[in-house]
Each structure stands twice: as structure tokens, then as C-alpha cells.
Amino acid sequence: MSKLVTMCLLVVLVFGICLFIFKPGEGGVQEQLRDGHATMTRKIRSFDYVSN
């Protein structure tokens, strides 16, 4: 019985983590990647302007 309860709790925990990581919209992984890419692009472009 305790194995069943433990397994159910682990499934709920893993499912919750997956929902948190892959949630669409604000705060999701895709949004964080887009923000990071935009930030890096701005930094690289500003470096190019300074070095020219």
C-alpha cells in the first residue's frame, strides 16, 4: 500500500514539474529562451558598435 501511495505522489510531483517547466506564456521555457536570445543579441550588437 505504501508503494502505491509513494508512486502516486511521485507521478503527481513529476507531472507538476513538467507543467511548471513547459507551461506556455509568461515564465515558460520558450519565453525564457526568447528573452535570453534578445538580451544576447542586444549585447553583441552594442559591442559591435563600440568596436567599430
Give the tens place of pLDDT for each residue, 5-51: 999 999 999 998 887 777 766 666 667 777 777 777 776 666 555 55
Cell numbers placing 6:
509513494
Domain count, the chain: 1
Rounded CA separation 48/52 (Å): 6
Concatenating the DSSP letter of every residue in 1-52 gives -HHHHHHHHHHHHHHHHHHHHH-SSTTSHHHHHHHHHHHHHHHHHHHHHHH-
> Which residue, among 18, 41, 40, 22, has the nearest Cα to 31 in the 3D structure?
22
Print the domain residue range for 29. Answer: 2-51
User: For residue 24, what pLDDT is reported?
Assistant: 66
Rounded CA separation 15/29 (Å): 16
